[in-house]
Amino acid sequence: MAVKKDYKDQKLAEKLRDRKYYIPDSNPEFLKEVEKIGQTPAHMCYQCGTCTGSCPSAPRSSYRIRLFMRKAVLGLEEEALTDPDLWLCTTCYSCTDRCPRDLAPTDAIMAMRNLAFKRDIVPRNFLQTVQLIYKSGHGVPNNDANRAARKKLGLDEEPETTHKYPEYLPGIQKILDHYKLKENADRILAEGA
Amino acid sequence: MAEDKYKEARIGVFLCHCGTNIAGTIDIDAVREYAKTIPNVVVVDNYAYMCSTPGQNKIADAIKEQNLTGIVVAACTPRLHEPTFRNATAAGGLNPFRFEMANIRDQNSWVHMHQPEEATEKAKDAVRIAVAKASLLEDLIPKSVPVEKTAMVVGGGVGGMQAALDLADAGIKTYLVEKSPTIGGRMSQLDKTFPTLDCSQCILTPKMVDVYRNKNIELLTYTEVEAVEGYIGNFDVTLRKKARGVLTPAEAEARGIVGGGCTGCGDCAEVCPVIKPNPFELGMAPRKAIYIYHPQVSPLIYTVDFDSCVKCGLCVESCGDKKAIDLDAKDELITVKVGTAILALGYDIYPIEKKFEWGYKNYDNVITSLEFERLICASGPTGGHLIRPSDGETPKRIAFVLCAGSRDNTDTGKPYCSRFCCMYSLKHAHQIIEKIPGAVPYIFYMDIRSFGKMYEEFYYRIQNEGAKFIRGRVANITEDPVTKNLHVNAEDTLLGRPIDMEVDMVVLAAAIQPSAETEKTRRLFGVSCSQDGWLLEAHPKLNPCGTTTAGVYLAGVCQGPKDIPDTVAQAEGAASAASIPIHKGEVELEPYFAVCLEDKCAGCGMCVYQCPYSALSLVEKDGRTVMHVTEAKCKGCGTCGGFCPGGAIWMQHFASPQIVAQIDAFLLGGEQ
Ligand SMILES: Cc1cc2nc3c(=O)[nH]c(=O)nc-3n(C[C@H](O)[C@H](O)[C@H](O)COP(=O)(O)OP(=O)(O)OC[C@H]3O[C@@H](n4cnc5c(N)ncnc54)[C@H](O)[C@@H]3O)c2cc1C
Ligand code: SF4
Ligand code: SF4
Ligand code: SF4
Ligand code: SF4
């Protein structure tokens, strides 16, 4: 456990904080849970970096999928789940395609997101996406600009989805209700407000 | 023949602790007390290491003191220590085949580490079963067969050449069989060799000449193994001498062409109108339909590629009075007899285009390390000038991709480390720094494996010379369609930062795999392979040159990736092992062959067709037809013994009464 230091200046305290890895900081159950939910043996990662090298998010952010794999292996649950970078994966699966150890880093990230959600750690835009899906069946609903573009391309203004067939929306809502996704999103957003 | 022996059986049981390997799990005292209660057991003893001298002495002494008829050692595996304990049994004055082993380590304590009580019970069962068999064991006398005083080496790379030279120097006539038109293998394609940087051809060519000149070596290039029959000491190997279309001086003389045959002058290739890529230069240089790979080939005899020859006859004309060319040549089959054989089949480069994210065969300036060797080599297609295939320019920024397809658990890679690519990539980095002013090698690596003598020092040297090391495996490579430059994408895992590095050329240190015909050839010799296709040694530590087929040995990369020093070392080991049976002059065959109990044999002959080794036949004896076993051919597989409806086949050492006694001992739990 990190040694407590006390500086009057909070910024200095943060800067000089003990950053060593101590065994008690690690929760071995975290690795097991990530592997169970993600269905991938994350502990076999040998830190080659092929995943980060493939990742479209990495060059544009501080997100490093390889470091999340490392934190899973070391059981650094707190650090992994509270890191906002966790939400920067685009789920393109490039890393999973190329990982030489045949792991699915994407699915490990998804597992960590599930675990984070269980603890109400979710960025607001993700929760708003939930609300949008509940309302329209789309994370990114159709809009006028899109409609115009579709028309120009000779497509129907509305795609073959709940936009065209709103009668299927209750089915989608039933699924979200079943998992209490909407309920939780509403609650967390309200608490944060 | 069994019952009366059973009555007089006096068995000694010896329990091994194997340090804590066995005793850490199994309650030795409990097994010892139990063993004393088993019928026929007259002595029970235990010791920390039964295989040690004091352990072996216990066995020999007990045989003498207690007049024992059979020995049981409960310990590791017969594969490891059966010979040890047989010797101890013989030292006590008993026939060595009166020894039986109970495996209570590999098949018990190691796998039941967490169930000590059940493991102890299982050990008691194992001992009881072994005692049941030991009580019925008989004296057996191994058969000796004479050993043919010749050897064969298959594969003429540096490994095969070294093995053949050692055998020949030890006075053994050796056939060296090479499928391509010249010996030399991969090493002749290399420019320099790590870590000393001596020129590969300069150290290899003299050896090639030695092989060619050695009176004890019969060099058979452009030849493949077609069939193998027989067993240690007496292999009959059928070889296919592929139609070469060109006569050696000796072959010419045999045809009555005095002073004729190929002199290697090359007049033929000069006039040949057919142009094909030269596989030796990996297709980067042309050859004719009548060709040699390179000027240092051994033997220096041209070869006609009949797949592309148009039979215009121009070469025949230009060869003139030497009359060396025979465009009607046909494959020839010959059979030779050898006592022992060494496989030195080498390796191929993994088809790295399967990793399409790196663009090999798609992007001009992505090449393999073997192509790099040819391009940097003074005798190569560019005279040693490393150039970009796209525009012939000299590259300045060169990326080396290590572990390309190695250490890769996907279905487009190989799980093992190819073992020499780290080192040759360091060598390549040195070569470009030395040859191209201002050139910078960027080495993308996961680990640098520089484990050999002076290898870590070599790594130090190359780093000091200015090579840049980036710790990260390459994710993908893209090509600038205009400049044909390449963008290497990876993560510098030490900085924790993604990299997009624009370079002029990329060299892939591609994985290696067993050579194309390894599978076929190993099957002919009855040699196993491991999951990854490399040939399986008899024991990874204690018998790395032998195989489970007696008389067949392994040398070089075909047994697993290894560099030249390790290849040569193993080749010398294999040559030494292969010469032992030849120098002994005879080998003992395990006496586990079938015996015909002639009074029971009905002469039906059904077994003759069952035997996979053609060891059985029917003969007339005293006016009756009975089955006859050719003992040297019988492998003791037991197919016939299990089959014979009349119970007329006695499988020595695995006879029905012995096996039934074991089953009874197990099922009846010791009750008789
Ligand atoms: C790019 C590169 C650079 C290297 N640089 C170095 C270096 O600097 N230093 C170093 O120590 N090592 C180096 N190596 C490794 C070196 O090439 C091997 O260690 C060495 O060639 C192994 O020799 P071998 O005899 O086992 O196999 P090979 O050289 O592959 O020879 C096998 C021979 O057997 C023949 N053959 C195969 N199958 C059959 C068959 N069924 N019947 C008949 N003949 C057959 C083949 O035609 C071939 O001639 C390098 C390897 C590569 C790829
Ligand atoms: S690509 Fe696979 S093995 Fe390599 S660092 Fe990423 S998860 Fe680990
Ligand atoms: S799936 Fe996520 S982590 Fe993997 S490469 Fe794509 S964005 Fe990056
Ligand atoms: S998988 Fe999804 S995120 Fe990735 S490229 Fe395709 S649409 Fe985009
Ligand atoms: S030798 Fe080096 S480059 Fe080759 S597979 Fe092994 S670690 Fe990778």
Segment B433-457 mean pLDDT: 97
Q: Alpha-carbon distance B430 to B440, whole Å?
A: 10
B137 phi, psi to nearest 5 deg: -70, 150
> CA of A65 to nearest chain B CA: how many angstroms apart?
10
Per-residue pLDDT, A4: 62
Q: Is the CB of B153 under 6 A from ligand 1?
A: no
**CA-to-CA distance for A97 and B383, rounded, in angstroms?**
40
Which pLDDT does position B590 carry in this prediction?
84
Q: Is the peptide bond before B195 cis (omega within 30 degrees of 0)?
A: yes
- Cβ-proximal residues to B460 (8 Å cutoff; 6+ apart), any chain: none
The structural domains of chain A, ordered by start, are 20-118 (1.10.1060.10), 124-192 (no CATH)
Q: Cβ contacts (< 8 Å) between A59 and chain B: which residues?
A: 498, 500
Q: What is the pLDDT of residues B101-113, one digit of tens each?
A: 999 999 999 999 9
With a 6 Å cutoff on the Cβ, whether B515 touches ligand 1 is yes
Q: Could you tell me the pTM of the whole model?
A: 0.86
More confident residue, B548 or B624: B624
CA distance A189 to A122: 10
Size of interface A-B (CB pairs under 8 A): 65
Q: Which amino acid is at B223?
A: T
For the segment A54-84, what is each residue's pLDDT rounded down to a tens digit?
999 999 999 999 999 999 999 999 999 999 9
Please tell me the number of the ligand nearest to residue A88's CA: 3
pLDDT digits (tens, 9 = 90+) for A104-142: 999 999 999 999 999 999 999 999 999 999 999 999 999
Residue A1's pLDDT is 52
The continuous run of DSSP H or E covering B367 comes out as strand B366-368
- The answer to whether the CB of B646 falls within 8 A of the CB of B602 is yes
Whole-number Å distance, alpha carbon B542 to ligand 1 midpoint, is 24
**Percent over 70 (pLDDT), chain B:** 99
Residue in chain A closest to B413 (alpha carbons) equals A100
B331: three-class secondary structure by DSSP: coil
Residue in A50, A94, A102 closest to B473 by CB: A50
A96–chain B Cβ distance below 8 A for any pair = no
Q: Which residue of B has its CA nearest to A51?
A: B475
Do the first three CATH levels of B150-242+335-346+515-584 and B349-513 match, i.e. the same topology? yes
How far apart, in Å, do the first and last CA atoms of chain A sit?
33
Buried b (16+ CB within 10 A) or exposed e, B538-566: beeeeebbbbebbbbbbbbbbbbbbbbeb
Please give the structure tokens belonging to residue A176: 């979200």
Instruction: Please indicate whether residue A140, judged by its CB atom, sits closer than 6 Å to ligand 4.
Output: no
pLDDT tens, position by position, B208-249:
999 999 999 999 999 999 999 988 999 999 999 999 999 999
- Smallest Cα–Cα separation from A21: which of A76, A83, A97? A76
* Percent of chain A as helix, strand, coil, to the nearest 5: 60, 0, 40
Q: What is the pLDDT of residue B3?
A: 44
Q: Provide the 10 A C-beta neighbour count for residue B336.
A: 17
Q: Is the dihedral of CA A131, A136, A137, A139 positive or negative?
A: negative
Q: Give the distance (Å) from ligand 2 centre to CA of residue A129.
A: 30
Using a CB–CB cutoff of 8 Å, tell me whether A50 touches chain B.
yes
Q: Which residue of B has its CA nearest to A50?
A: B475
Interface test with A, best of B357, B473, B474, B492 (most A CBs within 10 A): B473
Write the pLDDT tens digit of every residue in B482-515.
999 999 999 999 999 999 999 999 999 999 999 9
Fold classified for B150-242+335-346+515-584: FAD/NAD(P)-binding domain (3.50.50)
CATH superfamily of B349-513: FAD/NAD(P)-binding domain (3.50.50.60)
To the nearest 10°, report the CA torsion of B112, B118, B122, B127: 110
**Binning pLDDT at 50, 70 and 90, where does residue B630 land?**
confident
Q: CATH: 3.10.310, 3.40.50, 3.30.300, 3.30.1490. Which one for B3-142?
A: 3.40.50
Contact B72, B59 (CB under 8 A): no
Give the pair of three-digit tokens for residue B392. Answer: 């012939």
Query: Do residues B196 and B110 touch, judged by C-beta distance below 8 A?
Result: no
Per-residue pLDDT averaged across B562-589, rounded?
96
pLDDT tens-digit readout, B118-169: 999 999 999 999 999 999 999 999 988 899 999 999 999 999 999 999 999 9
> Is B7's pLDDT higher than 70?
no
Q: Is residue B670 predicted with pLDDT exceeding 70?
A: no
Alpha-carbon distance of A40 to A34, in angstroms, equals 8
Q: Does the domain spanning B594-651 belong to CATH 3.30.1370.60?
A: no
pLDDT range class, residue B186, cuts 50, 70, 90: very high
- CB contacts of A94 in chain B (<8 Å) are 475
Three-state SS for B571?
helix
pLDDT at B412: 97
Going by alpha carbons, the residue nearest to atom 8 of ligand 5 is: B403
Q: How far apart are the first and last CA of chain B?
A: 19
Whole-number pLDDT of residue B34: 97
Distance (Å, whole) CA B68 – CA B8: 10
pLDDT at B464: 98
Alpha carbon separation from B431 to B300, B424, B440 (Å, rounded): 30, 10, 11
Cβ–ligand 3 distance for A89 under 6 Å, the answer: yes
- What's the confidence (pLDDT) of residue B669? 78
Helix, strand or coil, per DSSP, at residue B649: strand
In the predicted model, what is the mean pLDDT of chain B? 95
Domain boundaries in chain B? 3-142, 150-242+335-346+515-584, 249-330, 349-513, 594-651
Q: In terms of residues, how long is chain A?
A: 193
Measured from the Cβ of residue A32, the count of other Cβ atoms closer than 10 Å reads 14
Helix (H, G, I), strand (E, B) or coil at B260: coil
C-alpha B47/C-alpha B411 separation (Å) is 49
- B490: closest chain A residue by CA: A53
Q: Assess whether the C-beta atom of B450 lies below 6 angstroms from ligand 5.
A: no
Q: Please give the Cα distance from B131 to B10 (Å, whole number).
A: 10
Q: Which contacts qualify for A81-87: CB closer than 8 Å, 24 or more apart?
A: A81/A112, A81/A115, A81/A116, A81/A119, A81/A121, A82/A116, A82/A121, A84/A123, A85/A61, A86/A112, A86/A113, A86/A116, A87/A113, A87/A122, A87/A123, A87/A126
pLDDT at residue B6 above 80?
no
- Of the candidates B403, B409, B498, which has its C-beta nearest A102's C-beta? B409
Q: How far is A76 from chain B (nearest CA, A)?
A: 18
What number is the ipTM of this complex? Answer: 0.88
β-pair type (B552-554, B340-343): parallel
Cα of B563 from ligand 1 centre, angstroms = 9
Contacts from B85-90 at CB under 8 Å and sequence distance 24+? B85/B50, B85/B51, B85/B56, B85/B59, B87/B56, B88/B56, B88/B57, B88/B59, B88/B60, B89/B59, B89/B60, B89/B63
- pLDDT, one tens digit per residue, over B251-267 is 999 999 999 999 999 99
- Which residue in B407, B409, B472 is closest to A53 by CB distance? B472
